[in-house]
Amino acid sequence: MSIARRADVAAALARLKTDNAWTLAQQIAVCEIPAPPFKEAARAADVRRRFEQLGLRNVRIDSIGNVIGERPGVGKGPTVMLAGHLDTVFPEGTDVRVKRTGTKLSAPGISDDCRGLAVLLAVARAMELAKVRTAGTVLFVADVGEEGPGNLRGVRYLYRDGAPRPDYFISVDGAGTSITSRAVGSRRFRVTYKGPGGHSYGAFGMPNPIHALGRAIAAISNIQVPTTPKTTFNVGVISGGTSVNSISASASMDVDLRSESPAALDSLTSRFRDAVDGALAAENARWPASATRLTVDVEDVGLRPAGGQPDSAPIVQTALAAARSLGFTSKTGASSTDANIPMSLGLPAITIDGGGTSEGAHSLGEWYDDGTTGFLGPQWALLILMALAPDG
């Protein structure tokens, strides 16, 4: 890739390798600031301070909590947004102190997405020290709400109607060398069956919310879904009941539906709703003599739109070419990331891994290992960014 031979870009790439210890120090420091869902403010404040120290302009925290810093271009080239997410899946009080064993760093969130945040900081620093010029503005964004409960609220806000949109979006999430070029969409629901409840013996003969829930789960488990595009369903949480000898007054379940295809996700959602309504009707019909009837509430608790682009898309080809120029082969795939939002709008977007290796994401045993080539992650992000933004 010819852009890698430009003097300022080559100097920045070299800096990312020689100063790799600095990048890891940022990763550790950021990780040790807790960022539970909807409570990313302390980590955001720290990243804001780091953005300012690295010379980014107009550094601010927007109304939803995203940290944004700008590196102005010298011309009228395209705007590129480079993002990583602030939040983790871990609740308040989780021990996030990093333990180091050789090249392995262990802590909740150390890879997902403290690695992405470290890559952002490293790229911003390398560009500043090497005085890299771009024609268009580069936006560095540490966003909130990427993980499940957050429902992509940070990037969703950045792409809200009427907001200025970048020409290209790149998020860095986790470890490895893969590209997310297609967005796995998801619909999440909380289903609650309700009735008067009663004594298991004395009130026997009335519809039972837990029995209705069981019917619904059985019906959902029998839904047939396509393997291509991959489409999935899961009942992940169930609750209800107060004692073994009580007919519960309510029973609920949390359901996750996913697909790469918007049409397949819509079809699955329709069949899920049929299963829920069918279970209600069947449980009420089971007890025709009862004067009571169950009701059901279906609450929409999460929507991640599906989308994507072919591997022939320029942004994907640019990322693949950048990887080859750095001496490794990347592969494309589908996942659920911050890039879902721009992808669903038909805008150029990818999520890339941040180099190194990791395991145990979303678990207390999560670890990241930089090995001997972890610096390739920041180099990859920089090279993609520079290839998309014409030089100054």
Residue 280: CATH number of its domain: 3.30.70.360
How many domains, in total, are found in the chain? 2
3-state secondary structure (DSSP) of residue 196: coil
If asked whether residues 347 and 273 sit together in one domain, one would say no
Express as a percent the part of the chain with pLDDT over 90: 96
Beta bridge partners of 232: 258
Domain hosting 107: range is: 2-184+306-388
Q: Is the pLDDT of residue 1 over 90?
A: no
Cα gap 74→133, rounded to integer Å: 7
Q: Are residues 7 and 153 located together in one domain of the fold?
A: yes
Task: Kindly indicate the confidence band of residue 148, based on its pLDDT and cuts at 50, 70 and 90.
Answer: confident
Euclidean distance between CA atoms 91 and 99, whole angstroms? 19
- Between 50-54, 75-79, 231-235, 243-247, the lowest mean confidence (pLDDT) is in 75-79
Helix, strand, coil in percent for the chain, rounding step 5? 35, 25, 40
Q: Are residues 44 and 55 in the same domain?
A: yes
| pLDDT of amino acid 341 | 97
Same domain, 169 and 288: no
The stretch 221-246 carries a mean pLDDT of: 97
The pTM of this model reads: 0.91
Q: Please answer whether residues 143 and 338 qualify as being in contact, where contact means their C-beta atoms are separated by less than 8 angstroms.
A: yes
For residue 12, give the nearest of 329, 380, 354, 373 by alpha carbon: 380
Say whether both 293 and 319 belong to one domain.
Answer: no
pLDDT for residue 323 is more than 70: yes
Average pLDDT on 98-118 reads 97
Q: Assess whether pLDDT exceeds 80 at residue 391.
A: no
| Residue 99: per-residue pLDDT | 97
Residue 269: pLDDT above 70?
yes
Q: Which residues pair with 170 in a beta bridge?
A: 82, 350
Least confident span in 30-34, 47-51, 308-312, 358-362: 308-312
Give the pLDDT confidence score for residue 75 in this predicted structure: 84
Q: Which two tokens stand for residue 360?
A: 């145990």
168 and 194 in one domain? no
Query: Do 276 and 334 share a domain, yes or no?
Result: no
Contact call for residues 223 and 248 (beta carbons, < 8 A): no
Burial of residue 354 (number of CB atoms within 10 Å: 0-12, 13-18, 19+): buried
Do 7 and 139 lie in one domain? The reply is: yes
Q: Residues 265, 259: contact at Cβ < 8 Å?
A: yes
Q: Report the C-alpha gap between 264 and 258 in whole angstroms.
A: 9
pLDDT band at 24 (very low <50, low <70, confident <90, very high): very high
> Which one of 251, 280, 304 terminates a domain?
304
Tell whether the model's pLDDT for residue 390 goes beyond 90. Answer: no
Residue 184 corresponds to which tokens in the numbers above? Answer: 């796995």
Percent of the chain with pLDDT over 70: 99
E strand spans, the chain: 57-61, 67-71, 80-85, 99-101, 104-106, 138-143, 168-172, 179-183, 185-194, 198-199, 231-240, 246-247, 250-259, 295-304, 307-308, 332-335, 349-352, 357-359, 367-369
Q: Are 192 and 135 part of one and the same domain?
A: no
| Same-domain check for residues 379 and 272 | no
Q: Is 110 helix (H, G, I), strand (E, B) or coil?
A: coil
Tokens of 322: 């950048």
pLDDT at residue 165 greater than cutoff 60: yes
Instruction: Classify the phi-psi angles of 266: left when phi > 0, otherwise alpha if psi is within -120 to 50, otherwise beta.
Output: alpha
Q: Does the structure show a pLDDT above 60 at 392?
A: no
